Chain A
Amino acid sequence: MTDNTNHNDADKSRERVIGTPTSEGATLATAEDAPHRRHEGPYPAEETHVRPEEVQRRGERMASLWFLVAFLAGIGFFVSYFMFPANSDGTPSIADPETAQWANMLLGGTLALALFSIGAGMTVWVRRVLPHYEVSSPYDELPSSEEEKSSFSEFFMRGAQESGILKRPLLRRTLLLAMVPLGLAPVVLLRDMGPLPGDKLKRTIWRDGTYLVVEGTNRRIRAEDLVPGSMISVLPEPDDPEHGLSMNDQAEAVTILIKMDPKDFGPGMSQQQLEWTHDGIVAYSKVCTHVGCPAALYEQTTHRILCPCHQSTFDAANGAAVVFGPAHRPLPQLPIRVDEEGYLVAAGDFSAPVGPTFWDAGVED
């Protein structure tokens, strides 16, 4: 099996450049049924091996069969396309997920079958009908000859000399100088892609007195609404309830509200941080200080807050200090209090910049 890539081993050391006339041995046997037939192919007979007519005929039939299958599958594709209407007026329509699954399967299945059959037909064709090929061709000698190289070098240097770029430095240097502003122009043009950060990353829309509302229902929360062990994702109450908060405001202001037994607060909470809580209710930024995923996976038994993206883990009972994972800073805490009606409101902005740590996150402006 392994030694039949070339049936004529006597020729194996022979090297021949494609395009030179075939040798006298072109009348070598190429097929059993016609041992003395002259070769008709584009490549030398001793390198390609014509298959017996019988094999070729069988190959032709097989390949054609595949192409016929491809044709039928292609027709099936069109049928599938028109079988399922697009808009929801008709039933069944592809807007219904179950119908969509059928439509997708039939369209994709027929298309895949058609494509596969064409591929299979072509492969049978090349393997059964075409002669068996393994022809040789030289690798080009890649480096140019010394002669060519020196000729080029001489030509090029003479040209450079003639242009004056070598002996007229003023010309050369002023041209380079002229390029500098032009090279910087694209950078300058990109300036208006966005505003400068300023202190925007360091403050949010939380203000003293802003109501905490349940995200999704915009319901205000009373302190007694929460029982120990509860948690809820909250946002600041929007000024304009019609339009709600912008995405940017949500992204920076989103907060998780956790109520635990006040006795559970650990030594990690400073006096200030304890003052920012209310009756065991503590509010932390929901945005992870690692790369900014919402970290909200709160376990009421361990008081851990876990970020599902990269598993930074914060201890809610100890000022959201990092207890595991890649984050570095604790989650910023939102000071809260109750207003005269008993509703939870913010007592100011977050204790630190929310979100991923950046260069000047720890620097006061």
Chain B
Amino acid sequence: MSDNQAPQAPKALRGIGNYIDDRFHLAKTAEKNLRKVFPNHWSFMLGEIALYSFIILLLTGVFLTLWFNPSMSHTVYEGSYERLRGVEMSEAYASTLHITFDVRGGLLVRQIHHWAALIFVASLVVHMLRVFFTGAFRKPREINWLIGVAIFSIAIVEGLFGYSLPDDLPSGMGVRIFQGVLLAIPVIGTYLSFFMFGGEFPGEAIIPRLYMLHILLLPGILLALIAAHFIILWYQKHTQYPGPRRTEKQVIGTPMFPGFALKAGGFFFFTFAAITGLSAFVQINPIHLFGPFTPTSITSGLQPDWYMGFLEGSLRLFPDWFDFDIGGYAVVTGVLVPGLGFMGLLFGGLAIYPFLEAWITGDKRAHNIADRPRNVPVRTGLGAAGITFYGVLWLAGSNDILSHTFQISLFATTWIFRIALIVGPILAFIITKRICLGLQRRDRATLEHGYESGTITQLPGGEFIEVHKESSPETVEVLQSAKYQGFRTVPPTVDANGVESPAARGFLGKLRIRLAHWYTKDNVSFEDVVPHSALHGEQRTEEKAGQH
């Protein structure tokens, strides 16, 4: 105990280590990587939820393929499930019934697969929001953001195709809507549809083809993208929140070995446990109750899985007012704009945002300290507006359920959502920005005055004041980060000689200057703030803090 000697590695382990190292020269690399530091914060674990649910999806998916038969040829069900015996259905549906009622644990694994898919996409969204609001997409991490957007978009398509495979009533309708959107594409729509479906809808080709995409091509691409995402993260190291010793130059956290490996391992089990727990007790997608797909039937309350909800909602909200003909040829904007346009808007907007923001602010520096959302009010406001836009579309995707549950007229819900889709994001932007600025003022006040201790004391003059105390060094550090985050970036429009600077010339240059001004003009200045400089006489400076 008293010496600093590390224990000798066991002989077997040493043997294996040497065997590998003799061939790959890994000792130094391995040590460097096992020393990799990961900052601690729960919001930094959100991406891991996605990674782990993806692993669960791969494991359970392989299990399901052992029995699933992706065929649309007709069969009469003669399996163990009594209620549907003698019913005509596709092989795909019959084999899904087989997994449910003839394979022990099959139902559980199918439910785990479905819940994991919902959690996978949901965790992608929360992870992406965390990255967005903390500005972790900025240089040098823009490429990883783009990969993330690609993962998100492919995951949605992957989910839609998986949902379609069992060939039950709602899943077949999902395919039908997919085909309807394909048909609406000008000029080539009918060709695309005929190639995709091997002829007319539904044909007998679509499920085998979707199956190939669902289990081979798309997961392959996802796996490659996730690997790339992870390698880049590993290479660039994780961002961290502001705090003592945490700088742009060094990261503070738990090293990979042994601490973080144990934490991440434990978290994998937690994720798996939560998904399994849901699958054990909450029924999901009971295809045996829905009945097999027929192209002639439909059910009310028909919904896709939640991540397709925003598309469903946009198809419901977008009116037919803008449909037009060119020489008799139809341009179906009522399908094209919500079916493809909104999707393009979402993913295009996400993909372009880091570059747009960098262009506006002219910020070319590398960032390793995550922003506090309040310190970048415009970005936070835009994010809130985006969430509202998405949320309204998502809610609109269930307007029939809302109408039925709350007894509102169906057409009224459509109109409410149409208006909310335009007004909601604007309001969300304004309100969020205001809240951010208010928080900035409070931060500045806390920084100067310390925090309110809750103790009231009487001054000799007879007046009562609340005693303010010094914040902890960590709090001070966090609050002071606003100095660097909310900085004003409006570049000078004229240089020292009074000549218009090149960057400010032309339409784009002027637009950029205006945008940059808009981006930061309302920020509360922290530049001249000295921590705890106004610890005494709080009441007099209370008002000053609001000015800037």
- Bound form: Cα–Cα A84–B202 in Å: 38
Q: Are B258 and A130 in contact (CB under 8 A)?
A: yes
Interface assignment of B2: CB less than 8 Å from any CB of chain A: yes
Q: Are A358 and B190 in contact (CB under 8 A)?
A: yes
Question: Shortest distance in angstroms between A183's beta carbon and chain B's nearest beta carbon?
Answer: 19
Residue A339, interface by CB 8 Å? no
A2 to nearest B CB, angstroms? 5
Chain A at the B interface: mostly helix, strand, loop or mixed?
Answer: loop
Distance of B125 from chain A, by nearest CB (Å): 23
Near B by CB (< 8 A), chain A positions 289-316 give 290-294, 296-297, 306, 308-311, 313
**Residue among B36, B263, B299, B368 with the highest chain A CB neighbour number at 10 A:** B263
Check A193 against B200 for contact (C-beta < 8 Å): no
Contact string, A212-245, partner B, CB cutoff 8 A, digits 1/0?
0001000000000000000001010000000000
20 contacts between A and B (CB under 8 A): A19-B35, A40-B1, A42-B35, A95-B82, A96-B82, A108-B111, A109-B280, A112-B276, A112-B277, A119-B269, A130-B258, A137-B36, A138-B250, A139-B251, A194-B198, A248-B199, A294-B297, A309-B312, A358-B189, A359-B186
Task: Answer yes or no: B548 CB below 8 A from chain A CBs.
Answer: no
With contact pairs A120-B266, A250-B296, A294-B296 given, residues A327 and B183 touching in the complex (Cβ less than 8 Å): no
B25: min CB distance to chain A, Å:
18
Q: Which of B3, B280, B295 is within 8 Å of A108, CB to CB? A: B280
9-residue interface stretch from B322-330, B435-443, B529-537: B322-330
Compute how far the CA of A142 lies from the CA of B142 in the bound complex, rounded to whole angstroms.
14
Q: Which residues of A contact B44 (CB under 8 A)?
A: none
A-B contact count (CB 8 A): 341
Interface of B toward A, CB cutoff 8 Å:
1-4, 6, 35-37, 40, 72, 79-82, 100-105, 107-108, 111-112, 140, 173, 176-177, 179-181, 183-187, 189-191, 193-205, 236-237, 243-245, 248-255, 257-259, 262-263, 265-270, 272-274, 276-277, 279-281, 294-302, 312, 315-320, 323, 325, 328-330, 332, 334-335, 338-339, 366, 368, 399-400, 410-411, 414, 472-475
A133 interface contact, C-beta 8 A: yes
Bound-state CA distance A297–B203 (Å) is: 26
Q: Is the CB of A133 within 8 A of B474?
A: no
**Could you tell me if B298 and A119 are in contact, using CB atoms closer than 8 angstroms?**
no
- The stretch of A196-204, A258-266, A268-276 in contact with B is A196-204
Q: How far is the CA of A189 from the CA of B258 in the complex (A)?
A: 52
A290 CA / B189 CA spacing, docked (Å): 14
Tell me if A154 counts as interface (CB < 8 A to partner B). no
**Is A111 in the interface zone, CB < 8 Å from B?**
yes
Q: Does A3 contact B (CB under 8 A)?
A: yes
Tell me the bound Cα distance from A363 to B140 in angstroms: 53
A303 → chain B closest CB, angstroms:
16
A308 touches B302 (CB 8 A): yes
Q: Which residue of A lies closest to B296 (CB)?
A: A254
Query: Which residue in chain B gives the minimum CB-CB distance to A11?
Result: B245
| B281 close to A326 (CB less than 8 A) | no
Binds B, one of A86-94, A155-163, A167-175, A343-351: A86-94
CB within 8 A of B280: which of A42, A104, A324? A104
Measured in the bound complex, the distance between the Cα atoms of B244 and A3 in whole Å is 9
Cβ-based interface call for A195 (8 A): yes
Q: Decide: A119 near B270, CB < 8 A? Known: A125-B262, A326-B320, A356-B184.
A: yes
Residues from chain A with Cβ under 8 Å of B196 in the complex: 193-194
Q: Hey, which chain A residues are within 8 Å of B81, CB to CB?
A: 95
How far, in Å, is B224 (CB) from chain A's closest CB?
Answer: 19
Task: Determine how close the nearest CB of chain A comes to the CB of B253; give it in whole angstroms.
Answer: 7
Q: Are B277 and A136 in contact (CB under 8 A)?
A: no
Contacts of B101 in A (CB 8 A): 94-95, 100
**Which residues of chain B have C-beta atoms less than 8 A from A108's C-beta?**
108, 111-112, 276-277, 279-281
Q: Does A251 contact B (CB under 8 A)?
A: yes
Cβ–Cβ contact B295 & A116, under 8 A? no
- Given that A250-B295, A291-B180, A362-B329 are contacting pairs, would A126 and B259 also be in contact in the complex, using a CB cutoff of 8 Å? yes
Top 5 nearest A-B pairs (CB, nearest first) are A108-B280, A291-B180, A95-B80, A119-B269, A122-B266
Residues in A whose Cβ lies below 8 Å from that of B236: 139-140, 142
Task: Report whether A293 and B107 are in contact in the complex, using a CB–CB cutoff of 8 Å.
Answer: no
Q: Are B202 and A247 in contact (CB under 8 A)?
A: yes
Interface string of A118-129 (1 = CB under 8 A from B): 111111011000
Closest Cβ–Cβ distance, residue B176 to chain A (whole Å): 5
Instruction: Using A119-B266, A135-B37, A135-B255 as known contacts, say yes or no to A100 and B107 having CB atoms under 8 A apart.
Output: yes
A37 touches B1 (CB 8 A): yes
Which residues of chain A in 137-187 are interfacial with respect to chain B, using CB atoms and an 8 Å cutoff?
A: 137-140, 142
**Nearest-Cβ distance from residue B441 to partner chain A, whole angstroms:** 22
Partner of B252 from the list A136, A308, A325 (CB cut-off 8 Å) is A136
Among B205, B248, B368, B474, the one with the most A-chain Cβ atoms within 10 Å of its Cβ is: B474
The interface residues of chain B lying within 8 Å CB-to-CB of A296 are: 298
A362's partner among B1, B191, B255, B330 (CB-CB below 8 A) is B330
**B contact residues around A359 at 8 Å (CB):** 185-187, 189-190, 329-330
From residue B229, how far is it (CB to closest CB) to chain A in Å? 17
**Interface membership of A43, Cβ < 8 A:** yes
A84 to B102, alpha carbons, bound, how many Å?
11
Residue from the list B248, B269, B325, B335 in contact with A139, Cβ < 8 A: B248
Contact A308 B4 (CB under 8 A): no
A15 at the interface (CB under 8 A from B): yes
Check A360 for interface membership: any CB of B closer than 8 A: yes
> Which residue in chain B gives the minimum CB-CB distance to A126?
B262
Q: Known contacts A37-B2, A133-B254, A248-B199; is A311 also within 8 Å of B472 by CB?
A: no
Q: A139-B368, A326-B316 are in contact. Are A115 and B272 (CB under 8 A)?
A: yes
Are A2 and B472 in contact, CB atoms less than 8 angstroms apart? yes
Residues in B whose Cβ lies below 8 Å from that of A286: 296
Contacts A137-B35, A357-B330 given: A308-B300 contact, CB under 8 Å? yes
Is the beta-carbon distance between B243 and A200 smaller than 8 angstroms?
Answer: no
Contacts of A81 in B (CB 8 A): 104-105
Residues of A within 8 A of B243 (CB): 5
Q: How far is the CA of A196 from the CA of B198 in the complex (A)?
A: 9
Most buried by A among B103, B253, B276, B319: B276
Q: Does A278 sit at the interface, judged by CB under 8 A?
A: no
Residues of A within 8 A of B3 (CB): 38
Specify which of A2, A43, A290 is in contact with B335 (CB 8 Å cutoff). A290
Q: Which residues of B contact A195 (CB under 8 A)?
A: 194, 198-199
* Cβ–Cβ contact A291 & B276, under 8 A: no
Residues of B within 8 A of A139 (CB): 236-237, 248-251, 368
The answer to whether B296 touches A252, judged by C-beta atoms less than 8 angstroms apart, is no
Docked complex Cα distance between A290 and B267 (Å) = 45
Cβ–Cβ contact A248 & B203, under 8 A: yes
* Residue A79 is within 8 A (CB to CB) of chain B in the complex: no
Say yes or no: A119-B267 contact (C-beta < 8 A), given A201-B200, A251-B295, A292-B180. yes
In the complex, the answer to whether B253 meets A135 with C-beta atoms within 8 Å is yes
Expressed in whole angstroms, the Cα–Cα distance for A136 and B399 within the complex equals: 51
User: At the interface, yes or no: A208 with Cβ under 8 Å from chain B?
Assistant: no
Residue in contact with A12 in the complex, picked from B244, B262, B300, CB distance below 8 Å? B244
Docked Cα-Cα span, A49 to B316, in Å, equals 58
**Is A105 in the interface zone, CB < 8 Å from B?**
yes
Check A29 for interface membership: any CB of B closer than 8 A: no
Q: Say whether, besides A292-B201, A328-B320, A105 and B281 are in contact (CB < 8 Å).
A: yes
- The one of B80, B140, B296, B317 in contact with A88, judged by C-beta atoms closer than 8 angstroms, is B80
Q: Which residue of A lies closest to B105 (CB)?
A: A107
Query: A233 CA to B87 CA in the complex, in Å?
Result: 20
Check if A39 is an interface residue, CB within 8 A of chain B.
Answer: yes
**Given the complex of chains A and B, what is the CA–CA distance between A140 and B251 in angstroms?**
10
Instruction: Point out the residues of chain A lying under 8 angstroms from B35, CB to CB.
Output: 18-19, 42-43, 137
Cα of A254 to Cα of B3 in the assembled complex, Å: 86
| Distance in angstroms between the alpha carbons of A215 and B237 in the assembled complex | 63
B445 vs chain A, min Cβ distance (A): 19
